[in-house]
Amino acid sequence: MKHEIFGWSFDHEPKKLEDLFDCIRDADDEVIFATKKTYEHREEGLNFDYKFAIRAENAYEMTGEPEDENMWHLEVMLVPTVDSLLPNKREDTIDGEDCTFIDLIDAGSYVQFGFEAVKVDPDKGYDAVMLPKYDEAASVIDNMNAMRGFYLDRPLNRIGSTGWDILNSLVGDGKDFIAAAFDRMK
């Protein structure tokens, strides 16, 4: 059977989400999983550790729009670890408390690698539709990691900020990612 997710397709049996990820949030309107494995990025001037996260959010709960009923937004993201963050970024993420990995996701301190809108057929139910999608998402993480330079090179907004700009602002030189994009335009 052919599986497709985030622009990737494969014919082998999907890996099991629970073998590769831990559930770090399980709410009625949002579920987040983080890789058990911590990855490393090492190069001159940019050294950090990171994990991948998979998040599913109930679109209807976010928008209230009738067309979003039974729609879930599924995304995969590269998230630097808390220990890799610049000290001022840790403080900016959460005031007066210890910063956690989930705080980074809530604050948008990540680079999105893939997004897919998934319609859940009410007759089939959430588990029948979303659980296989989670396994498919887990199955492409190694491929996404191998091609992370490609994902990080892509512009993420209309002014051309890239994933590298975001990561540099969080774990590298600390330069604002919007300012970095404007500097390239000069």
Contact 50, 80 (CB under 8 A): yes
The values of phi and psi at residue 21, to 5°, are -130, 155
DSSP state of 87: H
Tell me what pLDDT residue 92 has. Answer: 67
CA distance 62 to 130: 18
What's the pTM? 0.89
Cβ pair 156, 97 in contact under 8 A: no
Please report, in tens digits, the pLDDT of each residue of the chain (186 residues total).
778 888 888 877 889 999 999 999 999 999 999 999 999 999 988 999 999 999 999 998 888 888 888 999 999 999 999 999 988 877 766 665 688 999 999 989 999 999 999 999 989 999 999 999 999 999 999 999 999 999 999 988 888 888 999 999 899 887 776 777 777 777
Q: Which pLDDT belongs to residue 49?
A: 97
Q: Would you call 170 exposed, middle or buried from its count of C-beta atoms within 10 A (0-12, 13-18, 19+)?
A: buried
pLDDT at 95: 62
In tens, the pLDDT along 32-67 reads: 999 999 999 999 889 999 999 999 999 988 888 888
Q: Where are the beta strands (DSSP E) in the chain?
A: 3-5, 8-10, 21-26, 30-35, 39-43, 46-58, 71-80, 111-119
Q: Structural domain boundaries of the chain?
A: 3-155
Q: What share of the chain is helix, strand, coil (3-state, %, to 5)?
A: 40, 30, 30
Please report the pLDDT score of residue 7 as a whole number. Answer: 83
